[in-house]
């Protein structure tokens, strides 16, 4: 008797739709299909069967399939805990679940409505931003564009995509924790954060060919494209995936003569190393923050949130 559908839904809600270990969002929109995909599993602390991982227990079958014995994980971490039960013991997984529930509660109380308006959109991480807006109850149908290889290479159709995201951001209420506040939390991994500050820029240039857009990041900041800033003693690094830089003008903004620029936007906290005074975020959206002068000059009653 597997867990009931009601119990599964309760677990998805209690864990905030996030993996309890890496905190990745476990529902992603299909960019070219219009359908969303669940990429998470309901996992057992004590296995459903005695011969399963951590299955040596006096719990009944009903207790094994109750919500108190279940947790939500991404597919790789589900495989990991079952392949290494000696490392992921019953007690350790219970601790992970408790900490994750506390984290979800903390997130709900710490997030604020994101109100920053962007005059220009320099960077749109299409899959992640689509997911974020879908969680806010709004979505953008990009199926007509097929598999987007690089925004900068789309041509005139890019104008329609930018207009679509601008309209979408005007319709949906997004929530985020200000970056400075997040960095002062005990464990901000997995949070959506907002920023509006000066960044240094490095290694961001237009690729010589379309193949250059898909070049994976190496982890070497001497060569990887990124922007970075200081928040107190912590160096905040945001890797830039060249596929999502919007226009030639955007590439120029990421490569100014001074090597620095002011950017505003939203990102996802990957990791924070407080001993090493560093943090890593994946940007969802980056742009030029608007101001009253720009809005008055261009006659704009409102721009993107």
Q: What percentage of the chain carries pLDDT values higher than 90?
A: 55
pLDDT of residue 246: 95
Contact 54/89 with Cβ under 8 angstroms?
A: yes
Per-residue pLDDT band at 287 (split at 50, 70, 90)? very high
pLDDT of residue 145: 80
Cα atoms in the 13 Å half-sphere on the side-chain side of 121: 26
pLDDT of residue 130: 85
The domain segmentation of the chain, as residue ranges, is 5-109, 112-297
pLDDT of residue 293: 58
Q: Examine the pLDDT at 57 and tell me if it is beyond 70.
A: yes
Contact 3/70 with Cβ under 8 angstroms?
A: yes
Per-residue pLDDT band at 142 (split at 50, 70, 90)? confident
What is the rounded CA–CA span in Å between residue 40 and residue 23? Answer: 11
* 194-204 pLDDT, tens digit each: 999 999 999 99
Dmax of the chain from CA atoms? 72
Q: How many CB atoms lie within 10 A of CB 269?
A: 23
Between 303 and 257, name the one with better pLDDT. Answer: 257
Contact 118/213 with Cβ under 8 angstroms?
A: no
pLDDT of residue 2: 86
Per-residue pLDDT band at 56 (split at 50, 70, 90)? very high
pTM to 2 decimal places: 0.76
Looking at the DSSP bridge assignments, the partners of residue 41 are 73
In this structure, of 109-118, 203-212, 228-237, the range with the lowest mean pLDDT score is 109-118
* 25-36 pLDDT, tens digit each: 887 765 555 556
């Amino acid at each position: 008797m597997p867990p009931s559908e009601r119990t599964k839904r309760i677990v998805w809600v209690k864990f905030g739709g996030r993996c309890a270990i890496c905190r990745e969002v476990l529902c992603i929109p299909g960019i070219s299909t219009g359908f969303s995909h669940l990429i998470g599993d309901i996992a057992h602390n004590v296995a459903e069967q005695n011969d399963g991982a951590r299955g040596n227990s006096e719990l009944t079958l009903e207790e094994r399939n109750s919500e108190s014995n279940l947790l939500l994980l991404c597919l790789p971490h589900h495989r990991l805990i079952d392949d290494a039960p000696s490392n992921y013991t019953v007690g350790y997984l219970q601790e992970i679940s408790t900490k994750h529930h506390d984290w979800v509660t903390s997130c709900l109380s710490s997030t604020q409505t994101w109100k920053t308006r962007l005059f220009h959109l320099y960077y749109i991480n299409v899959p992640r931003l689509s997911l974020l807006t879908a969680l806010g109850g709004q979505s953008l149908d990009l199926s007509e564009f097929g598999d987007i290889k690089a925004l900068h290479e789309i041509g005139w159709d890019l104008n329609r995509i930018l207009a679509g995201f601008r309209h979408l951001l005007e319709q949906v209420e997004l929530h985020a924790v200000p970056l400075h506040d997040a960095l002062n939390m005990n464990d901000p991994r997995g949070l959506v954060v907002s920023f509006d500050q000066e960044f240094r820029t490095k290694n961001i240039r237009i690729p010589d060919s379309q193949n250059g857009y898909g070049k994976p990041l190496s982890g070497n900041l001497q060569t990887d494209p990124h922007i970075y800033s200081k928040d107190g003693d912590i160096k905040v690094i945001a890797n830039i995936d060249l596929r999502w830089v919007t226009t030639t003008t955007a590439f120029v903004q990421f490569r100014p003569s001074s090597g620095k620029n002011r950017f505003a936007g939203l990102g996802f906290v990957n990791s924070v190393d407080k001993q090493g005074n560093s943090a890593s975020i994946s940007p969802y959206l980056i742009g030029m923050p608007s101001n009253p002068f720009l809005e008055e000059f261009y006659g704009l009653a409102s721009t993107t949130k």
